[in-house]
Structure 1
Amino acid sequence: MRVGVSGFVPARLTQARVLASLTRLDLSERIGKSSSSISRWEKGESAPESEALESISFVLGFPVAWFTRPISSKPLSPVFYRTLASTSSDLRGKAGTKMDWLQEIAGYLSTWLDWPELNLPTHKITDHRELDFPEIARTALKCREMWGLGLGPIADLSMAAEGAGIICAHVQQGNTKMDGLSQWDESQKRPFILLSNDKSNYYRSRFDLAHEIGHVVLHKNIKTFDILHLKEIEGQANYFASCLLLPEELLSVELPRYPSLENLLSLKRRWKVSVAAIIYRAEKMLLIGEQEALRLRKSYSARGWMKGEPLDNDSQLESVRLMPRAINALLEAKIKTKTSIVRDLMMPVKDVEQLCGLTDGFLAFQPKVINNPLPKLKSIQDDSRSNIFEFKKKD
């Protein structure tokens, strides 16, 4: 009787398969096994034999040891995706896997490092329907107060979030439909935010981050929700983001009574928030009426700004600092080497580099340069005539 590999971890197979964009049927055809076998392995009902696991390792590009790497158990917590409704489950699965890896890497680094202490507003609301717009606005203002941001434009939202103990990362999703996701890791008692940088839009990225901070703060205690309520929950996070980025007290003073798009561009430059978001915020605050908002949106659309606003390409995305500084701290203290970090995590190097905010190739293996051997001529000293030969003249 053949026995499956001891210590096989089903979730590792699922992660590797999802990252490879393969269905169970795809994988079964490539390794010559039934899709029902793949399903049983991923459910933990059985384990693949060593030959099958070697085939899986070859097809998915992960070492055999990856599939026996333990995963720490943690209480389930909902993942909030900032995405379009048309986004495929495959893309969601990839993003969810990368979120799992970000949390795993952070847990690994916490063996030697302490993350910043959490500094977030708290409440005990377990049903999103208990939240109203005034409460959301107060919570956003509380964030600003706790983070020492005052009421003016936020110079660097990423730095503020990381300083409050939120671990953030930017990744390439290979698709512009996925903007970001957030989740509380209950075992580490810390929130994580993963943003897509596929659009490379500084203003959009800041709003996405503010949106995810909204989920982290407002929806921490919401453990389950019906998909029918998703639009309402996303609306709450959007409103939080607009309140966080554009406080009512100052915006109400700076916004003209009958603003033009040129006025709004000036505010965009100052507040680092898109024109579309400013129109949204102004309408919610009743600083402009419904007809005035409609007029601005029609003009906005007529100028082709739906595809991109002026100034969008003038700024680079905000950088994450916490994860790359953590890696560098271990390297500088000689606690770990680049090679040992890659070996310990067993994840694809490019994914680790992205999740840790490192430059491409930072952790890649660099072979030692071997000096090209060359012979050297001995130096000849001319201190005697013993090496000089005279030719005699012929008679």
Structure 2
Amino acid sequence: MRPTKQDLIPGTEARGTSPRAISDGFDPARLTQARRLAEMTKKDVAAALGVTSAAVGQYETGASRPRPELIPRLSETLGVPNTFFLAGRPANRLDTSMAHFRSLRSTPKSQRERALAFAEQVWELTYALELRIQLPLVDLPGFAGGEVHPGVDMPTDPARAARELRRHWGLGDGPVTHLVRRMESHGIVSVMPPSADPSAASVDAFSTRAARPLVILTANRADDIYRHRFTAAHELGHLVLHGDATGDSRQEKEADAFAAEFLTPRDSILPLLPKRMDLARLAELSRTWGVSTHSLVYRCRELGLISDATASRTYQRLRALTGQLGFTPESVSNYPAETPTLLRQAFELATEEAGLSVARLAHELAWTPERVRELLGVHEQRPVLRLVQ
């Protein structure tokens, strides 16, 4: 039976993806993903469709399917193409047990779910690119899905694990330069959501061990390069140390301890730290080692060089110097090697070698072209027509 004119979706008739066909091949998980990305409740979606919340719940569990006439309205409500809801595309479902959130307890459930849906889309984009381009092999001891066997078992102690990873990656005993770029070169997909994306503002950085390791570095820390680097090292610690995400304070403390030792190894930094608080010396070490002065003060206290009272007074002095030369946070945008580029470079290579385009990726993923550009960090290439009056 041929679809009627009312069944057809503009631009999809050739593929036979009428509302009826989409209803017949409806993927419940896609509705859940789209709803979470839009940060909408089932009640919100139900109101837009003119159905009950229970009906939307049944759509998401697969107990029933939305009627064909609801498909275009559902797509418009959630900001996705109609074909987004078709089953059959590769997917990787994530839940909170598979991800480490730096601020789990203070992050509302809806925002965590949105961040996980974002990570699912990053996985889908990565998968599509890997069909064409071989990404760097996952070389991460302690990560179950690693593609390069380290030949050693990683210690469970955070500081020892950090030293072992430095050794395995050949980083020596000095400062770690270009941290994010190094992580990507060892197969860790790193992404910074566009600042306009709600994930960038609502959720702190997080990581997931599903399939290929993924680190989301959110823009709310991009105004401070040192905080950004510590966050990246913190998430790296989770990937190495924690197979299961419990979200407890112990895991967060362990990831912090890993990050501190990874960025400033005890045996290297201890002889350099002042035994009396010298802010000029701390500022110099901060620039050399790529960590904040606050982090160095904490390191001094942690290594027993100063007392808690001295650390507290030093933090007060640092707060008073905020905004002064040498004590002003610098934007990540000034440090290209600390900005993720792996997926964009993979896309550019696939464009050159395999004729890939944004439009083709959008078609395969059933996303809008704008969404593909957002996640790749690729800007519109068409020239802009400017009319002179």
Q: Identify the TM-score tier after normalising by the shorter chain.
A: 0.7 to 0.9
In 2, Cα distance between the equivalents of 1:288 and 1:179?
31
In 2, Cα distance between the equivalents of 1:279 and 1:121?
30
Q: 1:350/1:23 Cα in 2 relative to 1: closer, same or farther (>3 Å)?
A: same
In 2, Cα distance between the equivalents of 1:270 and 1:238?
20
What is the match of residue 269 of structure 2? 251
Amino acid at match of 1:313: E
Q: CA deviation at 1:55?
A: 1.3
What is the match of residue 373 of structure 1? none
In 2, Cα distance between the equivalents of 1:177 and 1:197?
10
Q: CA deviation at 1:159?
A: 1.2
**Does the 8 Å CA contact 1:4/1:46 hold for their aligned counterparts?**
no
Q: Deviations over 1:349-375 (max 9, x none)?
A: 34323332x23325xxx4899xxxxxx
Find out whether 1:49 has 2:67 as its counterpart: yes
Task: Report the number of matched residues.
Answer: 348
Q: Identify which of 28, 33, 55 aligns with 1:37.
A: 55
Q: 1:71/1:288 Cα in 2 relative to 1: closer, same or farther (>3 Å)?
A: farther
TM-score, structure 1 length as denominator?
A: 0.80
In 1, Cα distance between the equivalents of 2:155 and 2:276?
25
In 2, Cα distance between the equivalents of 1:197 and 1:368?
28
Q: 1:41/1:309 Cα in 2 relative to 1: closer, same or farther (>3 Å)?
A: farther
Q: CA deviation at 1:314?
A: 6.0
**Does the 8 Å CA contact 2:91/2:124 hold for their aligned counterparts?**
no
Q: Identify which of 136, 148, 156 aligns with 1:116.
A: 136
In 2, Cα distance between the equivalents of 1:133 and 1:273?
24
In 1, Cα distance between the equivalents of 2:283 and 2:368?
42
Find out whether 1:18 has 2:21 as its counterpart: no
Find out whether 1:313 has 2:333 as its counterpart: no
TM-score, structure 2 length as denominator?
A: 0.81
What is the match of residue 192 of structure 1? 214
**Does the 8 Å CA contact 2:91/2:120 hold for their aligned counterparts?**
no
In 2, Cα distance between the equivalents of 1:340 and 1:292?
59
Superposed counterparts of 1:185-224, under 5 Å: 185-186=210-211, 190-200=212-222, 201-219=224-242, 221-222=243-244
What is the match of residue 362 of structure 2? 342
Find out whether 1:299 has 2:310 as its counterpart: no
In 2, Cα distance between the equivalents of 1:206 and 1:368?
37
What is the match of residue 391 of structure 1? none
Q: 1:351/1:181 Cα in 2 relative to 1: closer, same or farther (>3 Å)?
A: farther
The structure in which a higher percent of residues are helix is: 2
In 2, Cα distance between the equivalents of 1:271 and 1:206?
11
Q: More deviation in 280-289 or 102-111?
A: 280-289
Q: Identify which of 131, 149, 157 aligns with 2:179.
A: 157
Identity of aligned residues (%): 29
In 2, Cα distance between the equivalents of 1:354 and 1:193?
17
Q: 1:29/1:141 Cα in 2 relative to 1: closer, same or farther (>3 Å)?
A: same
Q: CA deviation at 1:30?
A: 1.2
What is the match of residue 166 of structure 1? 188
Q: More deviation in 290-299 or 102-111?
A: 290-299
What is the match of residue 206 of structure 2? 181
Q: 4+ runs of 1 displaced by more than 6 Å?
A: none
**Does the 8 Å CA contact 2:159/2:258 hold for their aligned counterparts?**
yes
In 1, Cα distance between the equivalents of 2:113 and 2:132?
30
What is the match of residue 361 of structure 1? 380
RMSD, matched Cα: 2.9
Q: Deviations over 1:27-69 (max 9, x none)?
A: 1111101111011111222111111122101222212110014
Q: Identify which of 279, 285, 298 aligns with 1:280.
A: 298
- Computing the radius of gyration from Cα coordinates, the structure with the larger value is 1
Q: More deviation in 69-78 or 149-158?
A: 69-78
**Does the 8 Å CA contact 2:282/2:293 hold for their aligned counterparts?**
yes
- Provide the secondary structure at the position in 2 that maps to 1:241: helix
**Does the 8 Å CA contact 1:260/1:296 hold for their aligned counterparts?**
no
Q: CA deviation at 1:215?
A: 0.5
Q: 1:176/1:68 Cα in 2 relative to 1: closer, same or farther (>3 Å)?
A: closer
Q: 1:206/1:33 Cα in 2 relative to 1: closer, same or farther (>3 Å)?
A: same
- Provide the secondary structure at the position in 2 that maps to 1:80: strand
**Does the 8 Å CA contact 1:283/1:293 hold for their aligned counterparts?**
yes
In 1, Cα distance between the equivalents of 2:203 and 2:44?
24
What is the match of residue 158 of structure 2? 136
What is the match of residue 332 of structure 1? 352
